[in-house]
Amino acid sequence: MSTDIASTTNTDFYLMDELLTKEERAIRQKVRHFCDTEIIPIINDYWERAEFPFELIPKLAQLNLAGGSIKGYGCPGMSAVAAGLIGLELARGDASICTFYGVHSGLAMSSIAMLGSEEQKQRWLPAMARMEKIGAFGLTEPNHGSDAVALETRAHRDGDSYVLNGSKRWIGNASFADVIIIWARDDDGKVGGFLVEKGTPGFEPTVMKGKVAKRAVWQADITLTDVRIPAENRLAHSHSFKDTSSVLTATRSGVAWEAVGHAVAAYEIALKYAQERVQFGKALVNFQIIQDKLAKMLANVTSMQLLSLRLGQLQEEGKMTAAMASLAKMNNARLAREVVADAREMLGGNGILLEYHIARHHADIEAVFTYEGTDTIQSLIVGRDITGVQAFSSR
């Protein structure tokens, strides 16, 4: 039985393609082809060894995607929908590569584009767009995951410098990134983003071990001990956690798209398997229970696609709210988790073998369900919007 999952399966059941522009379709197809030819054939070995495939960075750079919807500075300036489709297709290929790209192109580059000075943008964004310089985003701390606003990392002003002390956890790309945006509180208690360059004394990243999801992307624990950076390395327009949240809202929509990618991959794998796997004298697709599962999986995939498309349109029009982004992330991560679990079950014992790919998605979707705000946190953000009452702490 073939374990090649390069897709010929039609998952566009409601003809979403017809609602995309020619450019958006071309970008989606370019990334899908890249995943089928460059990522999927090699990624299982890297995932199993928990090693990052550095060989893919120059190949990914050649696609000219980094920077997504950022306009100018060598960035592609594509639509929000096109940027979302990149996340979908990369996740369909592999979540680790999707996270690497999302941290660099989304969180790091967006922080600089949204909050940086003109000089900061000119210095970093063109090289990051070419992927000659890689970025990371250091917000989460060991004692503050969902409660991210409770930052303990401090940035003390000392003459024409800031001195950073504290620790960070789960920081993707940080062990090799050229610039890491560290979020910290200044002497006045205000939150700011601080550009820490690779090799700065006192900045110590350590790759985390023992992960059972997204194993091929490296997240780091970071210790900051008297890390001295020029004062001009503070993102010029970062003065409060609201500024941080503006970046997170903009990128949270990307996680919603990523969840769709996992669901699409799972559905494609399950359908192909059911068409080829013979049990009790006939292919699995002949059994009612299999058709029932496939139909419900496709319904979830389709609803997720359409929700994400509309969210992307609203983002492009400047109408997307934090609650809208949270609802999409909450909904899509939950439904993707369900689709992936059904697909893994359909493959039986083969579903836990990496060669069939679904085991990797089954593990990785747990990270998607949790990061950039857990399911519960997203629901509380939506709940606050519905009721006008905040049910969790705010500082």
pLDDT confidence tier of residue 146, bands split at 50, 70 and 90 = low
> How would you class 9 by CB atoms within 10 Å of its CB: exposed for 0-12, middle for 13-18, buried for 19 or more?
middle
The rounded distance, in Å, linking the Cα atoms of 300 and 296 is 6
Residue 227 domain flag: yes
Task: Check pLDDT > 50 for residue 86.
Answer: yes
Task: Check pLDDT > 60 for residue 382.
Answer: yes
Q: Which of 2-11, 40-49, 79-88, 190-199 has the lowest mean pLDDT?
A: 2-11
Domain of residue 277, residue span: 241-387
Domain end call among 233, 253, 275: 233
Residue 318's pLDDT is 94
The rounded distance, in Å, linking the Cα atoms of 375 and 381 is 10
DSSP state of 16: G
In sequence order, what are the residues at sequence separation of 6 or more whose Cβ sits closer than 8 angstroms to the Cβ of residue 237? 114, 115, 116, 117, 243
Residue 2 domain flag: no
Number of neighbouring beta carbons within 10 Å of residue 341 = 15
The rounded distance, in Å, linking the Cα atoms of 175 and 177 is 6
Return the bridge partners of 84, or none: none
Residue 392 domain flag: no
- DSSP H helices, 133-212, are none
Residue 395 domain flag: no
Residue 148's pLDDT is 67
Q: What is the CATH number of the domain that holds 263?
A: 1.20.140.10
Encoding tokens for residue 128? 């990051």
Q: Which of 33-42, 123-132, 360-369, 385-394 has the lowest mean pLDDT?
A: 385-394
Domain end call among 99, 129, 159: 129
Residue 169 domain flag: yes
Q: Are residues 64 and 165 in the same domain?
A: no
Number of neighbouring beta carbons within 10 Å of residue 343 = 29
Instruction: Provide the number of structural domains found in the chain.
Output: 3
Q: Are residues 296 and 341 in the same domain?
A: yes
Three-state DSSP class for residue 190: coil
Q: Are residues 253 and 365 in the same domain?
A: yes
Q: Are strands 71-72 and 75-76 parallel, antiparallel or unpaired?
A: antiparallel
Q: Are residues 86 and 45 in the same domain?
A: yes
Please give the distance of CA 312 from its chain centroid, rounded to a whole number.
15
Task: Check pLDDT > 80 for residue 254.
Answer: yes
Residue 8's pLDDT is 42
Residue 11 domain flag: no
- Scan for tokens 């960035």, then name that residue: 75
Q: What would the pLDDT profile of 200-213 be if each residue is shown by its tens digit?
A: 999 999 999 999 99
Residue 196's pLDDT is 98
Could you tell me the pTM of the whole model? 0.94
DSSP state of 18: G
Residue 29 domain flag: yes
Domain end call among 92, 109, 129: 129
Q: What is the CATH number of the domain that holds 148?
A: 2.40.110.10
Percent above pLDDT 90 for the chain: 88
- Mean pLDDT for 140-166 is 89
- Mean pLDDT for 212-227 is 97
Residue 170 domain flag: yes
The rounded distance, in Å, linking the Cα atoms of 182 and 188 is 17
Encoding tokens for residue 112? 């600089």
Residue 394's pLDDT is 54
Encoding tokens for residue 143? 């004692």
Q: Are strands 203-207 and 179-185 parallel, antiparallel or unpaired?
A: unpaired
- Mean pLDDT for 87-99 is 98
Please give the distance of CA 226 from its chain centroid, rounded to a whole number.
31
- Mean pLDDT for 384-394 is 83
